[in-house]
Structure 1
Amino acid sequence: MMPRVALIGLGEVGRVFAEDLRALGITDLVAWDVALDDAQSRAARNAHDLGVATAASAAAAVEGAALVVSAVTAMNCVPAASSAAPGLGADTWFFDLNSSSPAHKQEAASVIHAAGGRYVEAALMSPIEPRRLASPFILGGPHAAAFSGDANAFGLSEARVGAEQIGVAAATKLCRSVVVKGLEALLSESLLAARHYGVDREVIASLSNILPEADWDAIAGYFMSRSLQHGVRRAEEMEEAAATVADAGVDAWMASAAVHRQRWAAQYGEVLPQESTSALVDAVRSAAGLDRED
């Protein structure tokens, strides 16, 4: 008998889980998302396109599930756990892969364990594409080692066990995010200004002096497009990263600045796609009114 899997959150990552689990033959899928009532939302469109059954609440979605995948925005880690907890069965796996701070992961774990579930912290250490469920995940918490025995059955072939202490995987993910999402913000800000001065190509070319093997033009275009497409979600993640840095006693200047740039970028997602990095920079500058002469 195939296990039931509940998906809490049916955005980009939730859709990948639905598609890949079905490819493995796991077809008993139920989803819940706060946005399902909006027929134009990404979650509602994903549910329609995939034909995934939806529930009226998170608690209803997780009833009878062997595995619950929590893939919501960073700020909703604890609310998602709290809303699902009343419906959890004994020993249900609760796979929390949200980009939330160690403190929020620990709070979510307490909620799930109090309800009788088995909380597994998960940190996705790469974009979900192109490797999808075969992407690298770090598992954490007291149930991580036990879950790793079932991970392959759910397509998580590159999941590895980290620390038994909840929050360590989150800290790994979010300290990485300071670099990755911070680099997105830095490249966007640099190129938007460099284009004004007509030096954007020279700036990009000079970056190969840092990492000679990197195609910085492609990197810059990719990173900028990710901010434009997912800036709201990334801004939330960077708020969690800033909290994680601050909890370590370090002033979170860079992470906090990235919050503002990511949120700003999200306003201009409609300019996507563009045929080149230069065209993308021009489109953002135009949409933001940066080419107006006062």
Structure 2
Amino acid sequence: MTKPPDPKRWQIGLIGYGEVGRILAEDLRKQDVRVCAYDIKLGGGQSGALHEHAERFAVALAPSHAALAADADFIVSAVTASQAVAVAQACAAAIRNGCWFLDFNSASPGAKRRAAAIIDGAGGRYVEGAVMTSVPPYRIKVPLLLGGGGARELAQLLVALGFDAKVASGELGVASAVKMCRSIMIKGMEAMVIESFTTARAYGVEDAVLASLATTFPGIDWEKQGAYFFQRVIEHGRRRAEEVREVAETVREIGLAPWSSQGTAERQAWMADLADTGVFGTRDSKAFARSPDWRTEADRILDQLKRA
């Protein structure tokens, strides 16, 4: 009987060294798992912080997708949604035969199937992953749904590494469909709260609106939830907008016009554009945590609208 592989002896490659990639790197390195990472920003203005993080946690940095893929036993692709297929293509040229490829990206079922065809066609083993909530509070144990022919086998290996991985289906696209349909609601709520609360603030009726929401949905602390939504969109609106564009594509794939998703993507991107101009002050994530009042951010938006 063949002894199952020990995933803690793997060389794990992380494509994408943003918030999610760095969290995974930290938690894997705590277990002395070898980690290599690549990010297109390694050659840009943000490379200093990435190099500093990699040095602190003893993460090797690869010069390209192909260089990372050539040495990896297991690859996690955690990039912006629009790049999911492109990353699969970039890795396929050098991927090792039998190397696992976990697509962590918030892409449509159609995009996942296209990426799978590329990786499997090159000799890799593609599994789709759907991250079901925000990563930072849960870190490596964020609820993760897997899909594809190798999902069951990979799930056992991921659990051994500390992931909270469960199989959604042996059919590709099911896990991502769950994620995308959930995002219609969650990312849509973020956009609606920003629009509703900012407009209420402009008319001076925010307290009445929050009181009414509390009556209708007593299980939600709307003050706290509103602050959380504002800050997450300010900090991650660009990434969220790309995800919701994939959500809209998911809706289109069934023949339904994605009116709500398109509006959500536009609002998320609009907030990201404001953040890039410095309207909300520093983009340091620690600074966001120290400013939990959504009214402050709404006032900044309203002030910017007056200036426009």
TM-score when scaled to structure 1?
0.93
Pick the aligned partner of 1:253 from 250, 255, 259. 259
Q: 1:70-219, aligned counterparts within 5 Å?
A: 70-156=77-163, 158-219=164-225
- Residue 166 of structure 2 aligns to which amino acid in structure 1? R
1:23-51 CA-to-partner distances (Å, cap 9, x unmatched) read: 1221x211111111014256556445544
For residue 35 of structure 1, the aligned residue among 15, 36, 41 is 41
Q: CA RMSD in A?
A: 1.7
SS in 1 for 2:305: coil
Native 8 Å contact 1:38 1:44 kept in 2: no
Q: CA deviation at 1:275?
A: 4.0
Contact 1:32 1:56 in 2 (8 A): yes
Task: Give me the TM-score of the superposition, normalised by structure 2.
Answer: 0.89
Amino acid of the residue matched to residue 290 of structure 1? L
Distance 2:184 2:53 in 1: 30
Unaligned runs of 5+ in 2: 1-7, 282-287
Aligned position for 2:302 = 285
Range 133-142 or range 146-155, more displaced: 146-155
Structure 1 Cα separation of the partners of residues 196 and 255 of structure 2: 29
SS in 1 for 2:218: coil
Paired residue secondary structure (1:95): strand
The residue aligned with 1:24 is 31
Paired letter, 1:118? R
Given that 2:14 and 2:21 are in contact with CA atoms closer than 8 Å, whether structure 1 keeps it comes out as: yes
Q: Distance in 1 between matches of 2:57 and 2:265?
A: 32
Q: Which runs of 5+ in 1 are unaligned?
A: none
Cα deviation code 1:141-194 (max 9, x no counterpart): 0000111120122211x2110111111111110111010000000000111111
8 Å CA contact retained: 1:37, 1:44: no
- In 2, Cα distance between equivalents of 1:64 and 1:275: 43
User: Hey, what's the Cα distance between the residues in 2 that align with 1:46 and 1:116?
Assistant: 32
Provide the C-alpha distance between the structure 2 equivalents of 1:31 and 1:118, rounded to a whole number of angstroms.
19
Distance 1:4 1:31 in 2: 11
**Structure 1 residues 198 and 236: alpha-carbon distance in aligned structure 2, compared to 1, 3 A threshold:** same
| Distance across 2 between alignment mates of 1:152 and 1:15 | 19
Q: Quote the sequence identity (%).
A: 40
Q: Which deviates the most, 269-278 or 2-11?
A: 269-278
Name 1:220's counterpart in structure 2. Answer: 226
| Equivalent residue, structure 1, for 2:4 | none
